[in-house]
Structure 1
């Protein structure tokens, strides 16, 4: 009998929360489609598409994967590695420009 009482003591999320998240996912997907529909090109296009993609992924991770209700240590274990990876990618981008300019300065000038 004690086990039956323990199983009924779980947390239930209201269905309204999931419907609101689905609505926001639909709106963000529509906005992502409208970026192509209006013919944006270049950096504004890719910036908006990536922004909408990150917002949708954040909603999915927070609500459907229940990360909004997890402990802080687990959240850090999920979020910190991608953030560190993005910092390293930024450093590589800066280094790539330095390497390109160095090659152009030394190899093209010597020809």
Structure 2
């Protein structure tokens, strides 16, 4: 083997990229189908209230997590997974908690102010 062939090999291997088995993609597709069917069964079963919305949101988050992890290849990016997936929802939850506390304070202030007039 000449030096030209040895130098060209790493570049071509890098250009091909990482290959994942088709079985993984078929498994994820099957899981997405099952989760979608379960989501539709929540409506078909006639669940109401918080149980209904909790189940629908749980199935939605599971499907989104599968899509992001496998099809966007985030499962193989450990640091990117924690930063891109976990931190923004945590920041939104903190913001929602702050706004919930602030809304209670605002309602109580308005009720006490308008009750005196």
User: 1:76 Cα deviation (Å)?
Assistant: 3.4
**TM-score of the superposed pair, with normalisation by structure 2:** 0.81
Q: Choose between structure 1 and 2: higher helix proportion.
A: 2
Residue number among 74, 77, 84 corresponding to 1:78 in the alignment: 84
Q: How does 1:10-89 map to 2 (within 5 A)?
A: 10-72=17-79, 74-79=80-85, 80-89=87-96
For residues 41 and 71 of structure 1, the distance between their equivalents in structure 2, rounded to whole angstroms, comes to: 38
Let me know the Cα RMSD of the aligned residues: 1.8
CA offsets, 1:1-60, max 9 Å, x none?
443554346421111111111111111101110111111111111111111111100000
User: 1:91 Cα deviation (Å)?
Assistant: 1.6
User: 1:93 Cα deviation (Å)?
Assistant: 1.6
The alignment of Structure 1 onto Structure 2 pairs a total of residues equal to: 109
Greater radius of gyration (CA): 2
**TM-score of the superposed pair, with normalisation by structure 1:** 0.85
Q: Runs of 5+ in structure 1 lacking a partner?
A: none
CA offsets, 1:84-105, max 9 Å, x none?
1221112212221221122112
Match of 2:111, SS state, is helix
Aligned to 2:8: 3
For residues 78 and 52 of structure 2, the distance between their equivalents in structure 1, rounded to whole angstroms, comes to: 36
Q: Runs of 5+ in structure 2 lacking a partner?
A: none
For residues 76 and 116 of structure 2, the distance between their equivalents in structure 1, rounded to whole angstroms, comes to: 61
